[in-house]
Amino acid sequence: MNNRIKELRKQNKITQEALAEALSVTRQTIISLESGKYNASLQLAYRLAKFFGVKIEDVFIFEEE
């Protein structure tokens, strides 16, 4: 699962720390999400999409294996 978190974060001029604070997660979680090492839960995915004001499918790109 790829995502556009880094791109959206940069577009909105938000630091990883600020995004983590807004979503009540650690900065390490944001780093892992952006690098694709960790896939967000549905709840966090929803919160991320809501935070950026976009749809979930605009944040996460599902790729069938």
Selected from 25, 34, 51, 56, the binder of another protein by CB under 8 A is 25
**Any contact of residue 29 with another protein (CB under 8 A)?**
yes
Token code pair at residue 29: 């979680």
**Any contact of residue 8 with another protein (CB under 8 A)?**
no
Token code pair at residue 38: 């960790």
Query: Cβ of residue 22: shortest distance to another protein, in angstroms?
Result: 11
Token code pair at residue 56: 């979930």
**Any contact of residue 40 with another protein (CB under 8 A)?**
yes
Distance CA 25, CA 44 (A): 9
DSSP reduced 3-state for 20 = helix
Residue ranges binding another protein (CB under 8 A): 20, 24-26, 28-29, 32, 38, 40-41, 43-44
